[in-house]
Amino acid sequence: MRAVEVVAFDGDDTLWHHEHLYQDTQAALRELLVRHVEGPVLDAHLLDVERRNLSLFGYGVKGFVLSMIETALELTNGEVTGGEIGQIIERGKSMLRHPVELIDGVADTVQQLVDDYRLVLVTKGDLFDQEGKIARSGLAELFEHVEILSEKDVAAYRRVFSALDVPISKVMMVGNSVRSDVLPALDAGAQAVHVPYRVTWDLEHAEPLDHHRVVRLERIAELPGYLDSLIP
Ligand SMILES: [Mg+2]
């Protein structure tokens, strides 16, 4: 008997670096539009545009590119040039082509857990984009199941975890986002581990945690030891 039978991992900023690509691209957009608008104004406007587009585009690079173009059009009163829009599109393409870089300790940790636990991957975003990242991560064959969700809410977790043929209380969700990985997984009845990433997208910010079924680890390499310490 184990306290945890299934370990479910988030992908972006939990297994591989992700948010820094967005932040680097946003920095390039600030540079591109510097003669039209100040950086903080652009950042705030882009966030508003992303927020209002989320229900239409969902998460992912392609929606981000469209939101950057829309932001550029609005903040320049339509004066952004075709060449500048072309540069925004190119930036988006290079984000999509970027190699998948695993976070320190991930490869060893996942390899260490695969003998003792059933491992699943529960990620969010554009299907095509996420499938490519999982394939390029080199980790795909270690997961018995991969789920790509358009939104990580309680209903989605309940559906995914219920299909695992194990009591949901024996599932542990591991992720960097309190809002997307921890809180809805707890509400679905699972246990959770929060492993913060060094940067968090503004739309993923949430209040600090206080719950008996969650723990915060600074590094994913601490996960096997934590799992071993749990009493069934
Ligand atoms: Mg994440």
Ligand 1 mean position, distance from CA 57 (Å) = 18
**Secondary structure of residue 106 in the 3-state scheme:** helix
Residues 128-139 have pLDDT tens digits of 889 999 999 999
Cα 29 to Cα 87: distance, rounded to the nearest angstrom:
9
What pTM was computed for the model? 0.89
**What confidence score (pLDDT) does residue 208 get?**
63
Could you give the CA distance from residue 27 to residue 120 in angstroms, rounded to a whole number? 34
Q: Separation of 13 CA from ligand 1 center, angstroms?
A: 5
List, for residues 73-89, the tens digit of each pLDDT value. Answer: 999 999 999 999 999 99
Alpha carbon of 217 to ligand 1 centroid (Å)? 15
Low-confidence residues of the chain, pLDDT below 50?
none
119, 5 contact by CB (below 8 A): no
